[in-house]
Amino acid sequence: MKYYIIAGEASGDLHGSNLIKELKKHDSSAQIRCWGGDKMQEQGGELVKHYRDLAFMGFAEVLLNLRTIFRNLSFCKEDILEYKPDAIILIDYPGFNLRIAKWAKKQKHRVIYYISPQVWAWKENRVKMMKDCIDKMLVILPFEKEYFKNKWNWEVEYVGHPLVEVIETRLSVSGNEKFSDKPIVALLPGSRKQEILKKLPVMLEVSKSFPAYQFIVAKAPGTDEAFYNQLVKDYSNVSYVTNKTYDLLLQSKAALVTSGTATLETALFNVPEVVCYKGSWLSYQIGRRLVKVKYISLVNLIMDKLVVKELIQADLTAEKLKTELISLLHNEDRIREIKKDYIALKQMLHKDGNASAKAAASILQFLSGK
């Protein structure tokens, strides 16, 4: 069968690559054309557009890049028409993918959505359109199945979270390059330059108060080294690694992490963390009026309580971050409580085996008409 898969971010590239691998196990003749990144390409996807050319962070940034976004939408539609896939598989990335879903349905394509848009957080009015346009919805957060069923009378399938198997696989591999003789604090400031510039300088300032620790930045794939060199050059106990985020987390005592998937990855590696968010003033003002969730980190949202501290916008200061980091490194009761909650989190996300395999099996079953 021919599949057209669209992912627009680094996390989508990761989950898309594992989905491609599982699809190919059961469909040896699978042809896959995709929007994503290096990982999807490595699994045999024919890459059309890289996610680094697609992702714009925040409301203001999206508005400034509308022309590019609409140009990409037009190109995508033309490419799908020419490719004639048996199914279109959309991975998260809702601003783009929901527009494609609506158009694809009119073109009578079969539309499968893997990793639901977070409509429970904002833009809930999109659900009616989603029900009309999406033939099969696969969700990865445990509360989403109940949300769609109880509030919207929509039967979706919960397959578990694909990060669990990704990280379990990494934890099972021994042998690791040692990054420092000092204890390590990981810095995960995001994958886009505009968000890195908002958060990383605050994180770096904190390093001055912990000379006995090595602070190591997880460099975003596709971002040039000169960009990081300029940011870290004045800090004696700061370095960075490339494409080794998981190796870094395996060796870290604590982590300062931007909001998003990285908060969940850090928790699944059992590393105490502080969640950091800072956007442009305009994007934040718009967002706080539209987003209706209690927490910004996936860890806290899934557990429905404050497991890890969140420092948001004006609260993200070097002084407050320093206070929280002291607690994560030296308060044994705090560390023990966080790790106890991490165990419960993992149990909630692990649904009877490999999420990517379950998603692939569900897709193939759906397409075969069974």
Instruction: Considering only residues 222 and 81, tell me which one the structure prediction assigns the higher pLDDT.
Output: 81
Could you read off the pLDDT of 23-50 as tens digits, one per residue? 999 999 999 999 999 999 999 999 999 9
pLDDT at 54: 72
Residue 358 and residue 332 share a domain: no
pLDDT at 280: 55
Q: What is the mean pLDDT of residues 104-122?
A: 93
> Is pLDDT above 70 for 164?
yes
Residue 272 and residue 313 share a domain: yes
Instruction: Considering only residues 65 and 241, tell me which one the structure prediction assigns the higher pLDDT.
Output: 241
> Is pLDDT above 50 for 286?
no
Residue 299 and residue 150 share a domain: no
Residue 334 and residue 235 share a domain: yes
pLDDT at 10: 82
Residue 23 and residue 138 share a domain: yes
pLDDT at 192: 78
Q: What is the mean pLDDT of residues 73-77?
A: 95
Q: What is the mean pLDDT of residues 338-349?
A: 94
Residue 183 and residue 114 share a domain: no
Residue 251 and residue 142 share a domain: no
pLDDT at 292: 60
pTM: 0.82
pLDDT at 67: 74
Q: Which two tokens stand for residue 364?
A: 């193939």
Residue 284 and residue 143 share a domain: no
pLDDT at 252: 97
Output b/e per residue, 97-126; b: 16+ Cβ within 10 A.
bbbbbebbbeeebbbbbbbbbbbbeeeeee
Output b/e per residue, 188-214; b: 16+ Cβ within 10 A.
bbbbbebbbebbbebbbebbeebeebb
CA distance 300 to 332: 20
Q: Please, which pLDDT band fits residue 62 given cuts at 50, 70 and 90? A: low
Domain that includes residue 286, residue range: 170-349
CATH number at residue 21: 3.40.50.2000
Q: What is the mean pLDDT of residues 8-17?
A: 90
Residue 93 and residue 67 share a domain: yes
Instruction: From 319, 317, 312, 321, select the one nearest 284 (Cα to Cα).
Output: 312
pLDDT at 279: 67
> Is pLDDT above 70 for 282?
no
For residue 165, being part of any structural domain is answered with no
Instruction: From 188, 202, 238, 206, select the one nearest 326 (Cα to Cα).
Output: 206
* Other Cβ atoms within 10 Å of 283 Cβ, number: 18
In total, how many domains does the chain have? Answer: 2
Residue 206 and residue 270 share a domain: yes
Q: What is the mean pLDDT of residues 162-179?
A: 86
Q: What is the mean pLDDT of residues 1-17?
A: 93
Instruction: Considering only residues 19 and 314, tell me which one the structure prediction assigns the higher pLDDT.
Output: 19
Q: What is the mean pLDDT of residues 156-161?
A: 95
Q: What is the mean pLDDT of residues 59-72?
A: 68
Share of the chain above pLDDT 70, in %: 91
Q: What is the mean pLDDT of residues 277-303?
A: 69
Residue 125 and residue 32 share a domain: yes
Residue 88 and residue 8 share a domain: yes
pLDDT at 350: 82
> Mean pLDDT of all residues in the chain?
90
For residue 154, being part of any structural domain is answered with yes
pLDDT at 40: 97
For residue 80, being part of any structural domain is answered with yes
- Cβ(366)–Cβ(175) below 8 Å: no
DSSP result, 184-214: EEEEE--SSHHHHHHHHHHHHHHHTT-TTSE
Q: Please, which pLDDT band fits residue 177 given cuts at 50, 70 and 90? A: confident
pLDDT at 86: 96
Share of the chain above pLDDT 90, in %: 71
Q: Please, which pLDDT band fits residue 59 given cuts at 50, 70 and 90? A: low
**Range of 69-73, 167-171, 188-192, 236-240 with top mean pLDDT:** 236-240
Q: What is the mean pLDDT of residues 200-209?
A: 96
For residue 17, being part of any structural domain is answered with yes
